[in-house]
């Protein structure tokens, strides 16, 4: 009988211990559940922030593209060097790198001179009358003429190879026609008429004659 009482008391003690453990674990579970709820709320909030930031970044990118496009329209530099085609479409001309005439020799110099010669024969001589007629045929042998023609050709391209003509461009064209090009042509006339090369000048009947310069 005493053994049975002892066993019952031991079982009762175990029951109390288990009840305490259950209560403690229930508290732990409640704490974990509360933390999980907090973490869920935090993740939800972070997701909303991320979506907001993505939306802000997208708007900023769109605004940057709009500003870039507007700046290109205002400055006329929205192209990559292409000129207008026959249909009137295309992009604005961008000046090419300046030739380093003081360093160019051989094939490199010949190629640069050939590009200038193309502009001289296709644009300058057909379109600029008395100004172009004053250019001596020995211009390719004069560094001054190479510098001047490079400036004249590139500036002409910037002013005339544009998809649109603004008031500012029109004013710049007038400045080029009335002041810049005549000044460059005057420099080249002096340079190519006071050199020692054989000079070809048009006669009244349109023929050309060669006369050496001392």
Q: Is 109 exposed, middle or buried (0-12, 13-18, 19+ CB in 10 A)?
A: middle
117 in the same domain as 35: no
186 in the same domain as 141: yes
Total of domains in the chain: 2
Would you call 200 helix, strand, or coil by DSSP? Answer: strand
Closest alpha carbon to 124 in 153, 159, 94: 153
Confidence of residue 209 (pLDDT cuts 50, 70, 90): very low
- 17-47 tens-digit pLDDT: 666 666 776 676 677 667 777 767 776 776 6
Residue 195 lies in a domain: yes
180 in the same domain as 121: yes
pLDDT: which is higher, 70 or 58: 58
**pTM for this structure?**
0.53
Inform me whether the pLDDT recorded for 206 exceeds 60.
no
Final residue in a domain of this structure, among 31, 52, 75? 75
Residue 88 lies in a domain: no
- 142-178 tens-digit pLDDT: 999 999 999 999 999 999 998 888 899 999 999 999 9
Share of the chain above pLDDT 70, in %: 57
Residue 29 lies in a domain: yes
Residue 100 lies in a domain: no
Task: Report pLDDT for 122.
Answer: 95
Final residue in a domain of this structure, among 75, 91, 121? 75
204 in the same domain as 118: yes
Rounded Cα distance between 119 and 126, Å, is 10
Task: Report pLDDT for 197.
Answer: 74
H-assigned helices in the chain: 2-75, 106-119, 125-127, 129-133, 143-160, 167-175, 181-193
Task: Report pLDDT for 172.
Answer: 92
Residue 54 belongs to domain spanning: 1-75
Rounded Cα distance between 158 and 155, Å, is 5
Residue 96 lies in a domain: no
Task: Report pLDDT for 88.
Answer: 45
pLDDT: which is higher, 207 or 102: 102
Final residue in a domain of this structure, among 75, 91, 119? 75
26 in the same domain as 67: yes
Which residues contact residue 164 at a Cβ distance below 8 angstroms, ignoring those fewer than 6 apart?
76
């Amino acid at each position: 009988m005493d053994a049975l009482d002892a066993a019952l008391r031991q079982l009762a003690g175990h029951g109390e211990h288990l009840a305490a453990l259950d209560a403690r674990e229930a508290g732990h579970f409640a704490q974990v559940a509360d933390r999980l709820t907090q973490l869920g709320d935090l993740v939800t909030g972070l997701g909303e922030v991320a979506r907001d930031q993505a939306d802000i970044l997208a708007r900023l990118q769109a605004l940057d593209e709009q500003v870039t496009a507007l700046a290109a329209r205002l400055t006329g530099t929205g192209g990559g060097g292409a000129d207008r085609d026959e249909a009137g479409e295309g992009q604005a001309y961008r000046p090419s790198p300046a030739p380093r005439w003081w360093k160019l020799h051989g094939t490199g110099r010949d190629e640069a001179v050939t590009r200038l010669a193309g502009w001289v024969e296709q644009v300058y001589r057909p379109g600029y009358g008395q100004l172009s007629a004053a250019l001596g045929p020995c211009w390719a042998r004069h560094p001054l003429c190479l510098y001047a023609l490079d400036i004249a050709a590139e500036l002409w391209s910037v002013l005339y190879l544009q998809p649109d003509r603004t008031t500012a461009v029109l004013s710049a064209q007038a400045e080029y026609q009335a002041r810049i090009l005549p000044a460059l042509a005057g420099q080249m006339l002096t340079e190519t008429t006071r050199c020692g090369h054989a000079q070809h000048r048009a006669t009244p009947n349109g023929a050309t004659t060669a006369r050496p310069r001392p």
